[in-house]
Every structure is written in C-alpha cells, then in structure tokens.
Amino acid sequence: MLDQLKSLFGLDDDQAAAPRPAMDKNLAAAALMVHVIAADGEITPEEEHRLEQILRDHYSVTEAEALALSNAAKLAQSDAVDMYRFTSILKAEMEEHERLALIEDLWEMVYADGEIHEFEDNVVWRVAELIGIQSRERMVLKQRVLNRRGAGTSENGDAS
C-alpha cells in the first residue's frame, strides 16, 4: 500500500509515471475523514494529528503509511465532486461493524479540534445515511465519542 501511495505522489522516481492507485476502502474512509475536518473551512494541526493517529490505530498502518494515506486522502477528497465516490466503495466493501467503526471515527474527527461545527455534524449524518447506518446508531456513536472525551452531552442537542 505504501508503494501505491508513494507512486501517487511521485515519491518513487521509477513509479512516477504509474497511474493513481485504485480507490480502496482505507483510502475512501480516510478521504471522508478529511472531508469532515475540512467542512468548517480549516484543517487544524490537532485534526491532522488525530487523523493520522486514527489511521495508525484503526487501519493497522505504520506512521509513514498513515502520513502517506492522509496525504492521498486529502488529494482524493479535493478531487471529488461528491461523497458517493467514497461511500459506494465503503458500503460495498465494509461489513456493518466496519461501517459503524467508521462513523465513530468520523465523530472523532468532528471533535478533534475540541469543538463541533454544524457542517462537520452534517457530513457525518450524510455519510451515515449513504452507508446504511441508522440515525439512532449514529447518535449512539456520537454520544460514545463525547463520553470518551469527557464532554457528556452534545452542545447542539440531538438535532442530527
């Protein structure tokens, strides 16, 4: 996977002319995480750090692979016209428990900078709908992340 990502960024001169790697579920998930943290118009260092940490911990990649995957996700997300490119792959290739874990990861991204933004919240809602996660499950995962972070309850209630 790292070789594919290096190729994507032209980091390996021998592979610089190779086509972009096919979108896989890890890249699709990472691109959606980037979409969430970019929704408020700014990606903070805290958000970037949390993204790379989640990629390492939940997607079993090394630190270098997490950085490369994060960079590839930023590029893929900036090239995308909508989220369907990513969510269609995830719905087809992920089991339900993996999709639930992704929604939890997206909530982690929402709170990575210490605050919730309505656009970030809306992205999670739309992704959950597109990958077949019910509203109740989405809100349970949101509350789980809030509890883990010590926040207890949502600032904007249960409106999502």
- Domains annotated on the chain, with CATH: 2-149 (1.10.3680.10)
Three-state helix/strand/coil letters over the chain: CHHHHHHHHCCCHHHCCCCCCCCCHHHHHHHHHHHHHHCCCCCCHHHHHHHHHHHHHHHCCCHHHHHHHHHHHHHHHHHCCCCHHHHHHHHHHCCHHHHHHHHHHHHHHHCCCCCCCHHHHHHHHHHHHHCCCCHHHHHHHHHHHHHHHCCCCCCCCCCC
pLDDT confidence of residue 81:
83
52 CB contacts (<8 Å, ≥6 apart)? 63, 66, 67, 70
Section 154-159 average pLDDT: 44
Asked if pLDDT for residue 10 goes beyond 70, the answer is no
Average pLDDT, the chain: 85
Q: What is the pLDDT of residues 87-116, one digit of tens each?
A: 999 999 999 999 999 999 999 999 998 888
